[in-house]
Amino acid sequence: GESVGLHLPTLSVQEGDNSIINCAYSNSASDYFIWYKQESGKGPQFIIDIRSNMDKRQGQRVTVLLNKTVKHLSLQIAATQPGDSAVYFCAEKKLYDKVIFGPGTSLSVIP
Amino acid sequence: DAGITQSPRHKVTETGTPVTLRCHQTENHRYMYWYRQDPGHGLRLIHYSYGVKDTDKGEVSDGYSVSRSKTEDFLLTLESATSSQTSVYFCAISERVVPEKLFFGSGTQLSVL
């Protein structure tokens, strides 16, 4: 969903289900797109990245999809676990430039 | 948190006072960053450093200065703190290899009253 005011978009999923977190990016010239996970009280942690010349990349239990036509990025988490509860940030980057972060999505896993 | 220590972890200060936040790394990474995190804004870059004594501004640098006299230390100074600088501040480091991965510290919660 879209962020409104100061509230993070929130996604609630049942434990064991798959989660899909969406992100719209702004710069069609970005070379890399990255997902970070931030648990409560901690700094963000790198999850996975994808180059702009790719459509899909898989990691351990996570898949990132990139649709450059509509400037959309998604993170799929398979078999969501309570430890996946966190805020997820998408970020974009041009080569040799700085990382630009999105506002984040809060994922809540229901046991 | 990848050998990154931020100090202090929490600070309460008054408007108009100077504040210095410290980031110390043991990874010998060349690049260091200061971000602030506020509800609805995600992470915004304040300043960054690409080597000893080499720093540059980020997108929200007004009211902040930085210094890097050693590879391992990156200081963020608020010369005269304002209530709008109440935030959580994160330090990050990277090697700027491709693709770049940022490693973050645990953050400093700063409250300016």
Question: With bands split at pLDDT 50, 70 and 90, how would you rate the model's confidence at A5?
Answer: very low
Minimum-distance CB partner of B101 among A3, A46, A95: A46
Identify the residue whose tokens are 């506020």: B38
pLDDT given at position A7 = 62
How many helices (H) does chain A have, and how many strands (E)? 0, 10
pLDDT given at position B1 = 53
| A47 and B CB contact within 8 Å | no
Residues B74, B95, B63: CA angle, nearest 5 degrees: 35
Segment A19-57, tens digit of pLDDT = 999 999 888 888 899 999 999 999 999 999 999 999 999
* Shortest CA distance from A89: residue in chain B: B42
Smallest CA-to-CA distance from B29 within B87, B92, B109, B98 is with B92
Please say whether the beta carbons of B80 and B16 come within 8 A.
yes
pLDDT given at position A3 = 32
pLDDT given at position B97 = 67
Question: What residues of chain B lie within 8 A of the CB of A34, using their CB?
Answer: 99, 101
pLDDT given at position B60 = 95
Put simply, the answer to whether B102 touches A101 (Cβ < 8 Å) is no
Question: With bands split at pLDDT 50, 70 and 90, how would you rate the model's confidence at B111?
Answer: very high
Please say whether the beta carbons of B60 and B82 come within 8 A.
no
Q: What percent of chain B has pLDDT over 70?
A: 95
| A36 and B CB contact within 8 Å | yes
Minimum-distance CB partner of B40 among A3, A44, A93: A3
Question: With bands split at pLDDT 50, 70 and 90, how would you rate the model's confidence at B30?
Answer: very high
Segment B56-105, tens digit of pLDDT = 999 999 999 999 999 999 999 999 999 999 999 999 999 866 667 899 99
pLDDT given at position A99 = 87
